[in-house]
Chains A and B, each alone.
Chain A
Amino acid sequence: MGYHLRKVAFYLVALWAAVTLNFVIPRLLPGNPVDILMAKLQQRGGSVDPAARQAYETLLGTGGRDSFAQEYLAYLGNLLRGDLGVSVSAFPAKVTDVIGDSLPWTIVLVGLATLISFVLGVGLGALVGWKRGTWLDSLVPATTMLSAVPYFWLALILVALLSSGLGWFPLNGGYDVVLDPGWSPEFLGSALYHGTLPALTIVLSSVGGWLLGMRNMMVSAMSEDYVLTARAKGLTGSRVMVRYAARNAVLPSVAGFAISLGFVVSGSIVTEQVFSYPGIGSKLLQAVQNNDYALMQGIFLVITIAVLGANLVVDLLYGLIDARTRDRSTVS
């Protein structure tokens, strides 16, 4: 099987695992989510007809009326139709609509912050490794310390200092609420302004991991023979560093993207809560607080699909930057 096929197959398995996990969790855990949901629905003036109850039961379990297999098939069928149920916390909005409204915020925020953090961390790591034995070495413990700090703690302190104290940034939200969301320059500017501090928090907390990994690989790569050959060839220092040492040292960082992306996404959920950012992370917490199980499951599924998708893209890119993986026959 080719490299690409194998990767796609793996992510399909992972996707299936996530979907199934999503199905199994409410059925295995204690509590009776369907009853809670129906009660909530009634409070909000929703219809409590058998159809609504059945929809939730498909999602969360019928309490033994239908067999596991029947429930599973019905659940998969709903997923394939793109039906994730109705949210009770945002009743009568459908879960898909709630997610559709909040997802772009998170994708832009987390996507940009991850990209900046990756580029910054890998770039600095390469430099720190290359210029070993200089003052740059002190960047390593400094950034590691930053990654040991809880995201939300750092975020709240930054808000207290930079927003409340100095007034440089807004306190919370994703945009100025007097503006209408749209593609107008005012709105985009406001969104950018509101997103800066959350993004800064994510970058500060995650850059250390990239930096350390890259620096260590760089040090190993520098003792490789091809770097010695490159120096003997009389290439300029920057060319040896970028094309030979860093080009090889970056591979594990790219291969380990999955692990890091998981951290960043997790951290950003908490960060969104701190900033009341209108993204999918604060919606998830809102769902948890309101026992909005349908929304909770929908969001978990979407976050997982997004992370799997990002990892698939990175893995396919990896095949491009390291020709050896394409020719290897075993699964690694």
Chain B
Amino acid sequence: MTWSGKLAAGLGLAGLIVLFGLLGPLLTGDPATIRDIGLTPPGDGHLLGTTITGQDVLAQLTHATRGSLWIGVLVGVMATVLSGVFGIVGAYAGGVVDEAFSLFSNVMLVIPGLPLVIVVAGFVPADQRGTWTISLVLAITGWAAAARVLRAQTLSLRNRDYVAAARVSGEKTWRVICMEILPNLLPILASQFVFAVVLAILSEAGLSFLGLGAADSSTLGTMLYYAQNGFALQREAWWWFVPPGLIIALFGGALALVNFSIDEIINPALRDRVRRRRDVVATTPVAAPVDEDVVLTVSDLNVVYQGATPVHAVKNVSLTLRRGEILGLAGESGCGKTTLAYAINRLHRPPAEVTSGSVVLDGVDVLALGPEELRAFRWVRLSMVFQGAMNSLNPVTPIRAQLQDVLRTHRPSMSTSDREARCAEVLRLVGVDPARLGSYPHELSGGMRQRVMIAMALLLEPQVMIMDEPTTALDVLVQREILNEIKRLRDELRFAVVFITHDLPLLLELSDRIAVMRGGEVVEYATAEEMYLRPQHPYTRQLLASFPSLTGERGALIR
């Protein structure tokens, strides 16, 4: 179901129940009328049968639904206001106020609610226990979780530019909160309100069932209380006991659906996707190898994102990579260079599909591999270094575990000490102290993290390494160091590199050959020297011209 479908279904069901509670009491008779037809099963005259004293269950149900909804709304409003005050105002004010409010919410959160409510209800004499008292107590014990969520959201909103702009321009605090912050919190507030209503109805039902509910109201909980004390289930009078609980469950379920859709509005990643399909739809038969020296051949590769309007992200791309060669792949963001790199390793995700072409790596037809063969192929023959090493390393395990994972999977027979030794060896290769093996990613600098990623890519001595913008997020000096490292390692270990970046001048220094991509096509493919001296395509010239020459002669810094 799509999010709008869920929203419609949830709102529809909840709306029906609300209507039932609002209009039902007008249409059914007096719920308190006693008749001498106790426990009549559902039938003519009494659609849902009668209670033990002959009262009409349907009439009771409509009044009870109204009572429960009223308490739910009361508590929902009060709890949302409380959570707003403590969550939004605290986070916006910051400093001591925030610390104090946040501490208060957290304390209220860990003190269990219902026992507290029971104790409070126990102290208040039954005749003074009205709807408002119960609602107030439920609200006071039920707002804290929402406040925490709102605080986190407000903290992140507070630092956004438009909020900062409003503050700098001298807007009053309450105005900034109401005009800039609240509208952005609306989905969350709505979801918290819905949650508070459901929780209140459930808690009130529990309290009433225990005989601690509001004395002046009739709710679904009190109805269940009387049903239970009238031994409804033991007398098999299910029509008396089941409907009140079912209404609560249906209402809760309906509002949960609403919450699902709100979640999906806030977080688009949760929305239903197209069903899984094959990542490779069709391939072209592989031609016989032309040259022993060629390690990777991509021929006429096509990748399409199968959306409502299919996007042809990679169009008839053909590339060859020789042993030990660095092939540069240049182009602006969105030109398909990353999609191409992922497709070579078949890492592209649905809805992307390879629609035709072939990828041959050292005699292996990559697009024809089965799932298990593909898994065994990855990293052994072809490893990758991704854009942004910050997020490429698992934040919750030490570097050691992430390096050893590779050996454990691809070299299961390796002994523990050999594994440890190999991990230390690759770290030394990239200039990282092996003592860092026990570190977590957040304890390393950005440059060091990228070195660890390169070390990881070296672990199994693959023939080809794909590097997707490996240095973009680093400062210029670290970038230089890492590029020099890559060249040195390539010279020592003789692997081939596909180096992806938008920085064409950098590629001119680094690579042997360069492919310039635009709109999914390779528009120019030549040696670095050729491209520097005689750029053919207007787009290449444009790219070259758009980077100011910092170094004068080509390679002035690197060599």
B and A form one assembly: yes
Query: A300 to B115, Cβ gap below 8 A?
Result: yes
Which A284-319 residues sit within 8 Å CB-CB of chain B? 284-285, 287-289, 291, 293, 296-297, 299-300, 303-304, 307-308, 311
Given A225-B388, A225-B391, A231-B347, residue A148 in contact with residue B198 (CB < 8 A): yes
Considering only CB atoms, which chain B residue lies closest to A328 in the complex?
A: B442
- Shortest Cβ distance from residue B105 to the other chain A in the assembled complex, whole angstroms: 11
Judge if A141 is at the interface, Cβ distance under 8 Å: yes
Choose among B378, B380, B395 the residue with the greatest number of A CB atoms under 10 Å from its CB: B395
Judge if B354 is at the interface, Cβ distance under 8 Å: no
Judge if A65 is at the interface, Cβ distance under 8 Å: no
The stretch of A27-35, A45-53, A86-94 that contacts the partner chain: A27-35
What is the CA–CA distance of A238 and B377 in the complex, to the nearest angstrom? Answer: 17
Query: A153 to B377, Cβ gap below 8 A?
Result: no
B residues less than 8 Å from A225 (CB atoms): 386-388, 391-392
Query: B123 to A251, Cβ gap below 8 A?
Result: no
Query: A150 to B392, Cβ gap below 8 A?
Result: no
A residues less than 8 Å from B378 (CB atoms): 231-234
Judge if B245 is at the interface, Cβ distance under 8 Å: yes
Query: A14 to B110, Cβ gap below 8 A?
Result: yes
Partner of A149, one of B114, B245, B260, B395: B245
A residues less than 8 Å from B122 (CB atoms): 287-288, 291, 293, 296
Choose among B109, B112, B233, B263 the residue with the greatest number of A CB atoms under 10 Å from its CB: B112
B residues less than 8 Å from A133 (CB atoms): 272-276
Query: A234 to B410, Cβ gap below 8 A?
Result: yes
What is the CA–CA distance of A321 and B221 in the complex, to the nearest angstrom? Answer: 42
Considering only CB atoms, which chain A residue lies closest to B443 in the complex?
A: A327
What is the total number of residues of chain B having a CB less than 8 Å from a CB of chain A?
90
- Shortest Cβ distance from residue B438 to the other chain A in the assembled complex, whole angstroms: 10
Judge if A123 is at the interface, Cβ distance under 8 Å: no
Query: B203 to A266, Cβ gap below 8 A?
Result: yes
Judge if A216 is at the interface, Cβ distance under 8 Å: yes
What is the CA–CA distance of A293 and B405 in the complex, to the nearest angstrom? Answer: 59
Partner of A323, one of B110, B234, B396: B396
Considering only CB atoms, which chain B residue lies closest to A265 in the complex?
A: B112
Judge if A98 is at the interface, Cβ distance under 8 Å: no
What is the CA–CA distance of A21 and B140 in the complex, to the nearest angstrom? Answer: 13
Query: B119 to A269, Cβ gap below 8 A?
Result: no
The stretch of B27-35, B167-175, B249-257 that contacts the partner chain: B249-257
Which B85-134 residues sit within 8 Å CB-CB of chain A? 99, 102-103, 106-107, 109-116, 118-125, 128
Query: B210 to A156, Cβ gap below 8 A?
Result: no
What is the CA–CA distance of A137 and B2 in the complex, to the nearest angstrom? Answer: 13
B residues less than 8 Å from A147 (CB atoms): 252, 256
Mask, B271-289, CB within 8 Å of A = 1, is 0111110000000000000
Query: A156 to B241, Cβ gap below 8 A?
Result: yes
What is the total number of residues of chain A having a CB less than 8 Å from a CB of chain B?
90
Partner of A152, one of B99, B107, B206, B377: B206
Query: A13 to B386, Cβ gap below 8 A?
Result: no
Query: A307 to B112, Cβ gap below 8 A?
Result: yes
Partner of A324, one of B211, B248, B377, B395: B395
What is the CA–CA distance of A223 and B376 in the complex, to the nearest angstrom? Answer: 22
Given A150-B202, A225-B392, A232-B384, residue A262 in contact with residue B112 (CB < 8 A): yes
Query: A13 to B206, Cβ gap below 8 A?
Result: no
Which B390-441 residues sit within 8 Å CB-CB of chain A? 391-398, 401, 405-406, 409-410, 440
Query: A288 to B121, Cβ gap below 8 A?
Result: yes
Query: A269 to B120, Cβ gap below 8 A?
Result: no
- Shortest Cβ distance from residue B267 to the other chain A in the assembled complex, whole angstroms: 7
7 contacts between A and B (CB under 8 A): A29-B123, A31-B124, A164-B233, A225-B391, A232-B347, A288-B122, A324-B395
Which B positions have Cβ atoms within 8 angstroms of A?
A: 99, 102-103, 106-107, 109-116, 118-125, 128, 145, 198, 202-203, 205-206, 209-212, 221, 224, 228, 233-234, 241-242, 244-245, 248-249, 251-253, 255-257, 260, 263, 267, 269-270, 272-276, 345, 347, 375-380, 383-384, 386-388, 391-398, 401, 405-406, 409-410, 440, 442-443, 453, 456
List the 4 shortest-distance A-B pairs measured between CB atoms, nearest first.
A148-B252, A266-B114, A234-B378, A153-B245
Q: A31-B128, A145-B256, A321-B396 are in contact. List 8 more A-B contacts (CB 8 A).
A: A21-B116, A29-B120, A31-B125, A220-B269, A233-B379, A251-B396, A261-B112, A323-B442
